[in-house]
């Protein structure tokens, strides 16, 4: 039964279903083919839909955009990119040459995420390498989530290109499969983007189901399907189990998800702590997590940048740390938070990474305080003569500003309100006219640092600030 017919006959055609979308001829033909009382026909249709929903339990969808960044560029420029091997990566000339994602055409040719651009081009000389545009990705992210949100308010955005939906209460829009098909079709028709959708009784299985058919697939994974579909797969294919955990499981003689499901829980807890119980449940497809439309407050806010060339010494590092500190502080203030700790990340040319952290003297939202702290960490814990390939600044211990007690400097307390007013005015100007509207002298001394302020080029896996709501991005 067409879901629009169901909605129409139940009197539930909402703003999401305009008259042009409802096939009135089909409704009329359906009505004429059944001579029963109209009210009886309505009840029958509703009951037909109800049988696809559990009397207890949930129905969860996981919407996962396929090769999202590449698909966005293809949607924007179909003549240039459709049907071609494409990859999104930083500039090869600037050495930030790692494939972030690639199209399915490229994948069939042997290109993969995380591969160096130089290697990818050797494998596929015709590969089109596209410069990332995170501002564009955020706009498309908001757009596809708006479509999903129109079927349930219970939407949990977990990254820029995926979300969970609890559609247990959305039966007025049809069966779970019909809702998934409609969301998938609308995202393709309205945005030109492919997506895969998993349908399951919990978030874990919905996530696993969305990975079963890519691209543009829809899969149902019920608890009774777990033994046949999942148990033969290796443990590292279970969502939430990383390489190190899988390796530790192998050392315990546990290679497959089925073996994990049958493993002794006490033994798992002894080796993995509280995670051991989760591993046992996951192996059996059990997950009690709920779809939470209210995203948890960020546990950290960070930004890293791979440098176009190795830098040596504090003089070269300072402008980069200044811009990193400025950008994470901006994101902190946008969320109305303050930080009580800061972490410095350094990576060497041979890809060794170290992190050092410290507590701030008092919770702060000031880029100046953050900058002073990370410079101190650099001086204390790094030999300035050693070259640096990557730098990162991460803020930790985040709390809402109104809940914090910001300690005023005994000798500077009279200036604090003025500093806050100045910072607020600068933020307003930069929000309106761009990040380069107001800069300190130190921010002007390095061309690479300017790229950190470019909203099209900046963006890491940690940057999910746009997911605080599914409102349209009007920047």
Crossing angle of helices 314-334/367-381, nearest 10°?
140
The Cα-based distances of 393 to 69, 296, 342, 362, 384 in angstroms read: 25, 21, 7, 18, 18
* C-alpha torsion sign, points 383, 384, 389, 391: positive
Token look-up 């990566």 returns 89
Angle at 292 between CA 224 and CA 165, to 5 degrees: 55
SS3 of 212, please? coil
Alpha-carbon distance 54 to 175, whole Å?
11
Active-site residue, 162 included? yes
Given the residues 74, 162, 435, 457, the one annotated as active site: 162
Report how far residue 15's alpha carbon sits from residue 187's, in angstroms, rounded to the nearest whole number: 17
> Measured between alpha carbons, how far is residue 28 from residues 5, 23, 36, 38, 229 in Å?
10, 9, 14, 12, 42
Q: Which two tokens stand for residue 128?
A: 């089109």
Rounded to whole angstroms, the Cα distance separating 150 from 246 reads: 38
Token digits for 457?
């080029």
Cα diameter, the chain: 88
What are the catalytic residues?
162
């Amino acid at each position: 039964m067409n879901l629009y017919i169901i909605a129409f006959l139940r009197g539930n055609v909402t703003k999401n279903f305009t008259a042009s979308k409802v096939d009135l001829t089909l409704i009329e033909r359906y009505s004429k083919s059944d001579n029963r009382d109209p009210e009886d026909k309505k009840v029958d249709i509703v009951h037909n839909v109800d049988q696809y929903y559990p009397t207890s339990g949930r129905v969860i969808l996981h919407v996962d955009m396929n090769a999202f960044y590449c698909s966005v560029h293809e949607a924007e420029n179909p003549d240039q990119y459709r049907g071609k091997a494409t990859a999104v990566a930083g500039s090869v000339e600037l050495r930030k040459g790692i494939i972030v994602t690639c199209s399915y055409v490229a994948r069939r040719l042997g290109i993969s995420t995380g591969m160096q651009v130089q290697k990818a081009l050797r494998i596929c000389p015709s590969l089109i390498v596209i410069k990332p545009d995170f501002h564009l990705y955020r706009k498309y992210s908001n757009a596809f989530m708006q479509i999903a949100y129109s079927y349930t308010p219970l939407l949990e955005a977990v990254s820029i290109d995926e979300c969970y939906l609890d559609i247990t209460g959305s039966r007025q829009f049809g069966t779970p499969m019909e809702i998934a098909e409609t969301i998938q079709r609308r995202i393709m028709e309205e945005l030109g983007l492919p997506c895969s959708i998993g349908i399951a009784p919990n978030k874990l299985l919905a996530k696993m189901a969305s990975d079963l058919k890519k691209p543009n697939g829809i899969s149902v994974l019920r608890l009774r399907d777990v033994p046949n579909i999942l148990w033969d797969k290796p443990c590292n294919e279970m969502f939430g189990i990383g390489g190190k955990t899988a390796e530790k499981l192998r050392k315990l003689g546990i290679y497959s998800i089925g073996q994990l499901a049958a493993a002794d829980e006490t033994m798992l807890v002894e080796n993995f702590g509280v995670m051991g119980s989760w591993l046992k449940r996951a192996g059996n497809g059990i997950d009690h997590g709920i779809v939470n439309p209210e995203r948890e407050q960020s546990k950290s806010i960070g930004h890293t940048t791979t440098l176009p060339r190795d830098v040596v010494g504090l003089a070269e590092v300072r402008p980069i740390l200044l811009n990193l500190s400025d950008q994470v502080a901006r994101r902190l203030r946008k969320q109305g938070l303050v930080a009580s700790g800061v972490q410095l990340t350094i990576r060497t040319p041979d890809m060794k990474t170290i992190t050092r952290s410290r507590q701030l003297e008092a919770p702060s939202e000031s880029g100046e305080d953050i900058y002073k702290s990370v410079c101190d960490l650099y001086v204390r814990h790094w030999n300035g003569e050693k070259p640096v390939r990557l730098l990162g600044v991460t803020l930790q211990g985040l709390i809402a500003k109104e809940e914090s007690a910001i300690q005023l400097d005994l000798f500077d307390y009279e200036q604090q309100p003025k500093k806050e007013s100045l910072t607020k005015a600068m933020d307003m100007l930069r929000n309106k006219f761009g990040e380069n509207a107001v800069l300190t002298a130190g921010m002007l001394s390095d061309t690479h640092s300017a790229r950190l302020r470019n909203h099209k080029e900046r963006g890491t896996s940690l940057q999910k600030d746009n997911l605080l709501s599914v409102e349209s991005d009007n920047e």
